[in-house]
Structure 1
Amino acid sequence: MNLVIKNAEEIVRNPETKEEKVIKHETVIVRGDNIIYVSPP
């Protein structure tokens, strides 16, 4: 499976402080046959 995702947001969580940081990406390409999770908006 190959996915091209435009205007994606990556949410990075710090397990120690429970803080979240959002990183915006213009284009993300996901390749492989073991894609676990994709969340729609």
Structure 2
Amino acid sequence: GGVTLYVAGTDLLPEVNREPNWRMALLVFAGVAMLLILQHLVGV
């Protein structure tokens, strides 16, 4: 599972940097923050 997330993340970050619009970076940041919050709430 972790390897899949790592590969997906490394493929996604260059795409975000290529995007001139700041909303894409904000969406990626919000998604990561949401995952971290859910992880904390579930206690995994």
TM-score class, shorter-chain normalisation, is under 0.3
Higher relative contact order (CA 8 A, sep 6+): 1
Question: What is the TM-score of this pair, normalised by structure 1?
Answer: 0.24
| Bigger fraction of residues in strand | 1
| Bigger fraction of residues in helix | 2
Question: What is the TM-score of this pair, normalised by structure 2?
Answer: 0.23
